[in-house]
Chains A and B, each alone.
Chain A
Amino acid sequence: MRRAMSHLAMRLSLTIALVVFVTVLQAEVLKPPLGLDLHIPVPEANPLTREKILLGRRLFFDKKLSRDGSLSCASCHEPKHAFSDGRAVARGIHGAEGLRNTPALINRGYGSHFFLDGRASSLESQALEPILNPIELGLTQPELQQRTGLKATEVVAALATYVRTIRSGGSRFDRYSAGESRAVNQLEKEGMRIFRGKGRCNACHVGPNFTDEQFHNTGVAWRDGRFDDEGRFSVTRNPLDHGAFKTPTLREIARTAPYMHDGSIATLEQVINFYSDGGRQNPSLDAQIRPRNLTSEEQLALTAFLRTLTGRIQEGMR
């Protein structure tokens, strides 16, 4: 009887220890860099676990996920470019070029719409598409399962889990916001004032991740009297969405050139100049996009402020 009790007690303490371990692990994993929310929305069906993070990371960098074994997810979402690729438009297998710029994959765990046109509503629904796209990684679903030895749903769950861990924060802006007054200089503070004031940049670039997760027509896609990419309209068929694209995060913006949905603007200075002039006139131009007439000094200050958003990227278990 006593032996049975002792065995029961041991099992109980092992269970408690395991529960405590898992809880502590989750708390460590979830701990964000300075400036981001503790809470990351995680679907109930795909909880964040150490195993999935490690598996997802391995898959993310695995070139087996491309038809010719030449590319992985990380080929376009390179850590050194804040998980973008430095190209105007994405390049897939056999050198095939896509139509849009590779978005930086940082802080996507906080997002609510995925892809530049928002056609996916979760990281899970987004994860498989580039792998199966013939001009990106070009696999079929059976090939994916054969090469990884995993079901497609397991690949999706692991990749989505890993992408949730890719976070950028702890920038000089975040340190300044936390009370470190010398973290930004006078020019950068002036840029911050323009960002919120005359520039009205925060009409769209709001919150800890500097995006409203909404879709706006800035006129970039309007060329020769027509939209060369319909953007959000191709998903919603809503006439208000012609040529509209999702607001990107501004975190790590200095490391993610070239800019805009098609990578058509090479430098931050040119982007600021584009918006200062009121974007490109077209029938669906967003009401927030209008000439701000920033002086060259103001544009310089704004650029300086945007560079303070370069921070430290955490990913995986690190």
Chain B
Amino acid sequence: VFANRITFDLEIRDNLTGELQQLQAGSQQEGRTARAPVLSPDSSQVAYRWYTGSLAAEANNFRMSELRIASTKPGSKPRVLIPASPQNEYVQPAAWSRDGRLLARIWKNDGTVQIAWISVRDGSVSVLRSLWQRSPGRPTLSPDGKYIAYSALATESVRSINPAPEGNSHIYVLATNGGPETEVVGGNSSNEGPVWSADGNHILFSSNRKNGEFGLWSVPVREGKPGDPPELLKPGTGRLIPIGLTSSGSLYFANRQREGDEAFVIQFSEPDGKIYGPSSPLTENFVGTNRGVSWSPDGEFIAFKRERATKKGTFDVVVRNVASREERTYSTSLFEIGPEATNWFQDSKGLVQYDSAGTYYRLDLMSGEFRKIATGSSQLSYGTAAIPSPDNNVLYVTASDSAIKGLGFNRIVAFDLKAGLERSVFTSSEVFGTFALSPDGRTLAIMSANTGGGSKWINGRFLMQMGSPQPVRLSVVGIDGTGYRLLYGPFPILENPSSNALVWTRDGRSVLFGMSHPDRPLVTQVMRLSIQGGEPRYTGLDIRGPFHYVSLAPGNASIAFSETLQDRWRLSAVDNVFPSRKLP
């Protein structure tokens, strides 16, 4: 059962048949909407918070939020269990007990949040625990119904005598009859979202107690008291919201992502140049931003960049084994790794990385070492994109000379990695956004923009904000600087051309690129253009945000890409969360 955020309806889905049924109609216009529905143990009833309309609330100077009960039978009328009241901001159900009571949180209008039992029969309230300014999370009932686990700020958030560092939340276990309460997880960290194991002997929770990075943790609990210290079950999960643990040991959880990029894989058919969905997330590990995807030449690995949970704007290189799903993370103390895509050497054993000071490194995947391979001259500024030739002897990079420095990159330079020499391949009157090397290593495809007209470049970036279409062109040129030819343009793209991808198909006959959607703002259409020119063809793939960092799998069977997310939820499951323990 769920509250549909698009239709504002309360709906129930039969997981066996996939059938959807509307339990209560909402209205965005009138502000009527359901929140936090909870299904009764026999699935016959749903308890939920019902917001009855913002206009009425304003008129009465208080929130019009009710606690309602609805039957899951089609056509039945909901019942108001607790009406809107000036005493309460709202009442939000959390769980049903076996004896027909509701465990709920009540937000009082003085900032107090109460954990309470509510009689489903008559709506009478029995407050278990009042917490002021401590933001208790959703309480969960132990399988035997004797205990409640919840997280709350360790101390009041304001005017506390001994305030805990901001965001420090602990996990508490409280007897359901109002008896003893015990802090089962403490410490100088955020510990949230407790759920009980099926046997009631463990509480799983999300925590950043180790190195500030969120992971999935477990603490043993007996008779409401903690046993051994908490144990890390799965690192690097990001800030997750555990939903529940099945008797077979699968944990269902949700992640909320307010901003950032996520990497996906989708099927691509070379013969007809079409995308076939749906896309699936590239990785199970969702910590904030995964971007800069790049398929290895042998097709066995995908490299991408993952933003550190503990330091925004700093990335690690992650290499994922496509078959085994294992991931290895690479970082270095030599420099801060940026978010841009990383390109493979042809042997599939190394990656190119740029340090923003004009030096290029080879990351050796076996040893994890970053080895310096090329340094630019002082006359030129270099771009982050660096592409090795198929024989790994040459590195192609974008550069700008002193005349155009600060306006963008107008050159493509080739570094001879053996001789340590650089040579200019091609210089243009336009600035380059991104470029790509053909599979045979003989032709460069370039996305460029005119510096005149409406486009203004400052320090290598357009001044225009994301969302404003930027006119660019596509062209090709030989690696010896000859045979320049305009393929297509001008056409609009989203954001800075340097963060928009350009990808050769593996047969070397076409390139894939993104173009601003003609009707939908902030959406990019992925197009395919023959290297012979002509009009581009729509692949069928729309992505939110710019066409970031795209990579084709060998054989063209799949495309990996990253997409800009805005307030997105992801529902996931981890099977066998207690691998070392025998579950009942």
Contacts and interface: CB of A to CB of B under 8 A. Distances in A.
A179 B179 contact: no
Interface residues of B, number: 30
- From DSSP, what is the main secondary structure of chain A's interface residues? loop
Contacts, number: 66
Contact of A37 (B83, B130, B159): B130
Interface in A26-49: 26-27, 30, 32, 35-42, 44
Contact of A207 (B123, B126, B130, B178): B130
A120 to B, nearest CB: 13
Contacts of B161: 113, 118, 214-215
Interface in A1-48: 26-27, 30, 32, 35-42, 44
B180 interface: yes
Given A37-B127, A196-B110, A212 B132 contact: yes
A208 interface: yes
B201 interface: no
Nearest to B87: A177
A206 interface: yes
B111 interface: yes
Contacts of B175: 39
A27 B177 contact: yes
Interface in A70-108: none
Given A38-B177, A39-B179, A178-B125, A208 B112 contact: yes
Contacts of A178: 124-125
Nearest to A48: B179
Nearest to A202: B110
Given A30-B177, A206-B132, A179 B127 contact: no
B397 interface: no
Contacts of A36: 127
A206 to B, nearest CB: 4
A38 B126 contact: yes
B112 A40 contact: no
Contacts of A208: 112, 114, 127, 130
A118 B129 CA distance: 22
Interface in B124-163: 124-130, 132, 156, 159-161
A41 B83 CA distance: 31
Given A26-B179, A214-B159, A39 B174 contact: yes
Nearest to B161: A214
A207 B110 contact: yes
B181 interface: yes
Nearest to A40: B178
Given A39-B174, A44-B180, A214-B161, A206 B112 contact: yes
Nearest to B127: A37
Contacts of A207: 108, 110, 112, 130, 132
B566 interface: no
A44 to B, nearest CB: 7
Contacts of B379: none
Contact of A212 (B87, B126, B129, B159): B159
Given A38-B178, A41-B181, A207-B132, 7 more contacts: A26-B179, A35-B127, A39-B128, A39-B178, A176-B87, A177-B85, A212-B156
Interface of B: 83, 85-87, 108-112, 114, 123-130, 132, 156, 159-161, 174-175, 177-181
